[in-house]
Amino acid sequence: MNKKIAVLGAGSWGTTLAILAARNGCRTLLWGHNREHMASLAQDRENKRYLPGPVFPENLSVTSDLAEVAGFCNLILVSVPSHAFKDTLLKLKAYLPDGIQIAWATKGFNSDNGSLLHKVVADIFSEQTPAALLSGPSFAAEVAADLPTAITIASPQPDFAALLADILHSERFRTYTNSDLIGVEVGGAVKNVMAIAAGIADGLGLGANTRAALITRGLNEIIRLGVKLGGKQETFMGLAGLGDLILTCTDNQSRNRRFGLALGQGKDRAEAIQEIGQEIEGISAAKETFLLAKKHGVDMPITEQTYKVLYEGLAPLEAVQNLLAREQKAES
Ligand SMILES: NC(=O)C1=CN([C@@H]2O[C@H](COP(=O)(O)OP(=O)(O)OC[C@H]3O[C@@H](n4cnc5c(N)ncnc54)[C@H](OP(=O)(O)O)[C@@H]3O)[C@@H](O)[C@H]2O)C=CC1
Ligand SMILES: O=C(CO)COP(=O)(O)O
């Protein structure tokens, strides 16, 4: 394949996506903000800190220099954590102001004001900039180990979605395209909040029935908010909605779920964060989702109780009791 792509973000997911593109024959450049870490990647030809195991294909190179990214190509796949999303794009724009095509695999909101990430892209570049989001049930380690995975590539521009699908798709990594960018964004960002809630419940030892109820009612909350923000209801029943929600609420590879488990088992927040040692996007997403729900008048009780545990010191068991004490109502 005679294509080039630059991946921004040298954590577990960015490294995996860069390896995938390179395995598919693309010339691939992986950028990370930490100069020393990138120098070690260049030397070791693997990312021992974030993705031990797969050795980089020969057509994958690394850099910590955004000017080099800009000179390499204009097709950018961003996989930095959400707190670094806006800043990274602002820095990139200084080098690559025109003709850019931006995809991202970040799951979260803009940490400045809680907006969806497509809004950040449109504000920094333009509404016309080709934009796409890659999301769905995909633990980096399993993808890197070539275990079968299916994800969604969402973009209002079908040609751009098809281009990305072409770059990443393989027998072991199936890509489905979708035009509902907003629905896919909301699904990926809010499932992390639900994964923390499910982890808390399991940490408290509340059992399988509780977990299933949280996933189902959590999906309901995601749909209510997502539809209000302009997403399509059917998107939430797909890979980037229900698929990713099931994955992260039920499997201990999820950092968000493990964080919730630790809280439910009585660990404090700082201790749990340190133990996990990687991004836990649901922590900021709990706040951003709670504020968005309030702003739009959307009832999101699981999100609200999770927010209170994380930001108001509410005891996990009390949060569960608050949910159980809600008045009886029709299922909707
Ligand atoms: N891991 C997974 O399985 C999946 C992750 N995602 C999403 O991908 C995104 C990235 O997560 P993931 O790769 O897992 O995170 P990791 O915790 O594995 O790595 C985080 C990376 O971000 C870097 N980083 C931290 N601060 C900044 C900054 N200010 N500017 C640029 N880079 C920074 C870190 O570098 P350093 O440590 O050197 O500071 C590190 O390379 C998240 O939104 C996550 O939800 C989506 C699907 C799957
Ligand atoms: O989004 C993910 C898998 O699809 C990764 O989830 P965690 O960030 O909870 O590990």
Closest ligand 2 atom to 256 CA: 9
8 A C-beta contact, residue 246 and residue 189: no
Helix-, strand-, coil-residue percentages of the chain, each rounded to 5: 55, 15, 35
Nearest residue by C-alpha to atom 10 in ligand 2: 254
188 lines ligand 1 (CB under 6 A): no
End-to-end CA distance of the chain: 48
* pLDDT of the residue at 1: 73
Residue 85: both structure tokens together: 């999303």
* 107 and 51 inside one domain: yes
Q: Is 191 a catalytic residue?
A: yes
Q: Check the annotation: does 9 bind a ligand.
A: yes
Indicate whether 232 belongs to any domain. Answer: yes
Burial of 331 (0-12, 13-18, 19+ CB in 10 A): exposed
Q: Give me ligand 1 centre to Cα 237, in Å.
A: 26
Give 261's pLDDT tier (boundaries 50, 70, 90): very high
How many CB atoms lie under 10 A from the CB of residue 140?
21
| Same domain assignment for residues 193 and 293 | yes
The domain spanning residue 28 has which CATH number? Answer: 3.40.50.720
Catalytic residue among 86, 93, 191, 294: 191
pLDDT digits (tens, 9 = 90+) for 162-178: 999 999 999 999 999 99
Number of domains in the chain: 2
Query: Taking residues 78-83, what's their average pLDDT?
Result: 98
Instruction: Out of 159, 179, 199, pick the residue that ends a domain.
Output: 179
The answer to whether 140 is a known ligand-binding residue is yes
Ligand located closest to 50 CA: 1
Percent of the chain with pLDDT over 90: 96
pLDDT at 218: 98
Residue 147 inside a domain? The answer is yes
Residue 321: is it exposed, middle or buried by C-beta count within 10 angstroms (0-12/13-18/19+)? Answer: exposed
Distance CA 118, CA 11 (A): 21
In tens, the pLDDT along 289-317 reads 999 999 999 999 999 999 999 999 999 99
Tell me if the pTM is above 0.90. yes
Any ligand 1 atom below 6 A from CB of 13: yes
Sequence letter at residue 212: A
Atom nearest to 258 CA in ligand 2: 9
Say if residues 201 and 309 touch (Cβ distance below 8 Å).
no
| 62 SS3 class | strand
Question: Atom 26, ligand 1: which residue's CA is nearest?
Answer: 84
Please determine, for residue 97, whether its predicted confidence score (pLDDT) is greater than 90: no
Q: Are both 275 and 228 inside the same structural domain?
A: yes
Among 245, 265, 248, residue whose Cα is nearest residue 200: 265
The pLDDT value given to residue 2: 79
Q: Do 101 and 164 fall within a single domain?
A: yes
d(CA 167, CA 163): 6
Same-domain status, 128 and 191: no
